[in-house]
Chains A and B, each alone.
Chain A
Amino acid sequence: MGSQTSVQEMPLHCRLLLSLLSLAVGTAVWLPSLRFVFRPGRDQFRSEVDVAPMARELARRHVDLWMQPEGGTADIDVMRINNPEWDFMGRTFLVLSLANMCLHEPELRHTYLPVIDRIIEDTDRIAQTKGIEYFLLRYATESQFVQQPVRSIFVDGELALMMGARRFLAEHERFRERMRELVHITADRMAVGPVLSCESYPNECWIFCNTVALAAIKMHEILDGEDHGQLLRDWVATAQRKLVHKETGLLCSSYTYDGQMLDGPEGSTLWTAAHCLQIVDEAFAEDQYRRAKSEIAHQYLGFGWAGEWPSSWLGPMDVDSGPVIPILDVGAGSSGQAFVAAASFGDTEYYRSLATTLMFAGFPQVRDGRMRFCASNQVGDAVLLYSTVAGPLWGLIRERSRGGAMR
């Protein structure tokens, strides 16, 4: 009490100086310690050997969305208002996640295979009955696709990828036929394109969609023994020559059908593209990851995040980038996708720093053993779930690819 009285009696300039000094000490002590409060325990969020506890909680929530009556319509409907693509991508990342979980723990197959099948059947049914527009933004119908007949590699590629992931767990006759049809259509259309790419939207080719399609083609190669090696090699060579941003060496995110760059490198595209290229051309993928890490990844005081654009190319904020916080250069879309890339390239340090930021600013919520991130949405959570379990499927593909090459 005595010292409190003496503080009250101090003149303002003394108190102000002491306050500044004390606040500086407080900041210097607390900010470097903050990471220890939010950093998830080792193997709590992602484990290399099995399915981490948080991954299980995330998966439970997603399985409910699909297996309980009306379980997820509200969550998905609100997402579709903003971007119907997210509905489709949420399905893809969930299927990839569940497939990886089944490869981690084969006893999970009897629980997750019916979910996977249901998602794929539902998605394929909608794509065939309601058309590709159902999963595309409105401007898909506002002008003409260059390549005819009209198809979107966004839908074809991800649908084939889902079927491929499912077939690595157990063969499915109907999916085998449908995947073969989708891959043949995609590969044929890519092969005749000026830069070996197909459109996702009218006269808009996206690296994200084209690399996903390449991964699906690679899966088909291994599952059905067909050789698409020439197309894969030519695509990488063309991309290195024509689709790379000169200043950074990073793949641009979108371009016209004849190869004119529309958007430069974007984090919301690059990280997943590098992940998909990992099974197509490992060296090129590794190079893209390394460049992306140096251009758009950030780490500070144990926290990690990713920006949307490199400093040499600033694009507009859009539905893909999500909100970007200036000064700090935090991109919601890019940071989410960075999890996938960091996990698949074994960048444990960056992954942990991203997870620390997620636990700090993603606002996790666990109810009845089901986890979600309030600052995210269904597709965001599906991407995060995928990052927690990614590895076995790509590992299997690379292993079988090397086995095939040796034979």
Chain B
Amino acid sequence: MMDRPRRWYRQMRAMKWFCPGSFVLCAMVCAAVYVVLYLLGWRESTSVLCGTLPEDRTAQTIQAFQATMYVIFYMGTAVVAPILVIAAIVFQAIVRLWKGQGNAAIDATVTVHEVDLELDGNCRGNANNVE
């Protein structure tokens, strides 16, 4: 049971940036942090957005910090995370398409080359016969 998280962790560390996996990972981290902030009740602190602040200076700072963090991760989850997931799908699709076309091109080259060789052989054979 403990192996799976370790494997995930190793995979994450081995992962390169700017690839579909890193996009999905960023989206998941953003959503996970947002859920934690939501459960902590930091949504309530967003009243600072309309200029409503508590009287105490320390409480003001704390509330402003909570509201900023909440808004950043909420926006991250609602706006950025879906974009990252869509981007990951598009990225993967392009790579597959590209790879598929590359393989098809190699296959086609091989087939043409084989036909050429065959034709070449046949021609040579015929020439020998003529000689």
Contacts from A to B (Cβ < 8 Å): 3-4, 6-8, 10, 12, 15-16, 18-19, 21-23, 25-27, 29-31, 34, 37, 78-79, 81-83, 319, 322-323, 332-333, 336, 360, 363, 365, 374-377, 380
A7-B19, A23-B87, A34-B79 are known contacts. Are A374 and B43 too (CB-CB below 8 A)?
yes
Q: Judge whether B90 and A363 touch: CB under 8 Å.
A: no
CB-defined interface of B41-69 with A at 8 Å, one 1/0 digit per residue? 00111111111111100000000000000
Stretch at the interface among B94-102, B106-114, B119-127: B94-102
B residues contacting the other copy or chain, number (CB 8 A): 38
Q: Judge whether B20 and A375 touch: CB under 8 Å.
A: no
Q: Which residues of A contact B94 (CB under 8 A)?
A: 18, 21-22
**A166 → B minimal CB distance (Å):** 28
A332-B51, A376-B50 are known contacts. Are A15 and B86 too (CB-CB below 8 A)?
no
A12-B18, A363-B43 are known contacts. Are A375 and B95 too (CB-CB below 8 A)?
no
Q: Which residues of B contact A26 (CB under 8 A)?
A: 82-87, 90
Beyond A23-B87, A30-B79, A81-B55, 15 extra complex contacts between A and B, CB < 8 Å: A3-B96, A7-B95, A12-B18, A15-B17, A18-B95, A22-B91, A25-B87, A27-B83, A29-B86, A30-B83, A81-B54, A82-B53, A319-B51, A360-B78, A375-B47
In the complex, whether B88 has a CB less than 8 A from a CB of chain A is: yes
Interface core residue of A360, A365, A374, A380 (most chain B CB under 10 Å): A374
Q: Is the interface of B mostly helix, strand, loop or mixed?
A: helix
Q: Which residues of A contact B49 (CB under 8 A)?
A: 323, 332, 375
Q: Which residues of A contact B54 (CB under 8 A)?
A: 78, 81
**A235 → B minimal CB distance (Å):** 31
Give the CA-CA distance A27 to B83 in the complex, in Å.
6
**B25 → A minimal CB distance (Å):** 13
Q: Judge whether A6 and B86 touch: CB under 8 Å.
A: no
Give the CA-CA distance A83 to B15 in the complex, in Å.
52
- Please list 22 pairs of residues, one from A and one from B, whose beta carbons are closer than 8 Å in the complex, sorted by A's number: A4-B21, A7-B21, A18-B94, A19-B87, A19-B91, A21-B90, A22-B88, A22-B91, A25-B90, A26-B84, A26-B90, A29-B86, A30-B79, A30-B82, A78-B54, A332-B51, A333-B50, A336-B50, A365-B44, A374-B45, A375-B46, A377-B50
Interface core residue of B15, B20, B49 (most chain A CB under 10 Å): B49
Which of B50, B78, B87, B92 is in CB contact (< 8 Å) with A34?
B78
